[in-house]
Homo-oligomer: A and B are copies of this chain.
Amino acid sequence: MEQATSEKILDIAQSLVVAGGYNGFSYADISEAVGIRKASIHHHFPTKAELVQVLVDRYTQRAESGLNSLREHVPGPVEQLQAYLNYWQKCILDASEPFCVCAMLAAEIQMLPEPVATHVRRHFENLAAWLTSVLKAGVEQKLFRLARAPEEEAQILMASVHGAMLSARALGNPSLFAAIVGPQLARLKA
């Protein structure tokens, strides 16, 4: 089963966004990477704003269903959180996706087309909500002992994850991600 062209376009565009943000790539870049003419990309995605909007939508959709399936299939809040962090650790270590699309776009949110900005904001809200729910479950089962409200601890954890991605990238040291994020999980455990 061949992959659909529009999916290929989105895949390439996503890796380009991860590398350089919204203004860091052009239709010509995608064209070259996919092996298709520029005009053909406009056939699938009339404007750049639409392309990125669909891209972010797909990303948030996948993230949400991925997180929810973790919550269903992984036993225990501690393991769920660990699985989430492991996922990113792997992505960063093997450079398959060394940065979160939405974190990248959030940095330039002021310059983004409004619909894209809205989707990015929603991803942050979703992620915070997921982390909150896992923390709450952990507290109920006496697996976590939090110094603050679960909502607050979720925000702290999310910020640590994004900050750790940034440090790993800035210092060119992929293993820094785990070194920063590991202790943050550890200190939540009861």
Contacts and interface: CB of A to CB of B under 8 A. Distances in A.
Interface stretch (A2-10, A68-76, A135-143, A157-165): A157-165
Interface in A65-109: 99, 102-104, 106-109
A115 to B, nearest CB: 15
B169 A155 contact: no
A33 interface: no
**Copies of this chain in its oligomeric complex:** 2
A60 to B, nearest CB: 13
A107 B169 contact: yes
A166 interface: yes
Nearest to A107: B107
A166 B171 contact: no
Contacts of A19: 108, 110-111
Nearest to A99: B107
A19 B125 CA distance: 22
Interface of A: 19-21, 23-24, 99, 102-104, 106-111, 120-121, 124-125, 147-148, 152, 155-156, 158-164, 166-167, 169-172, 176, 179-180, 183-184, 186-187
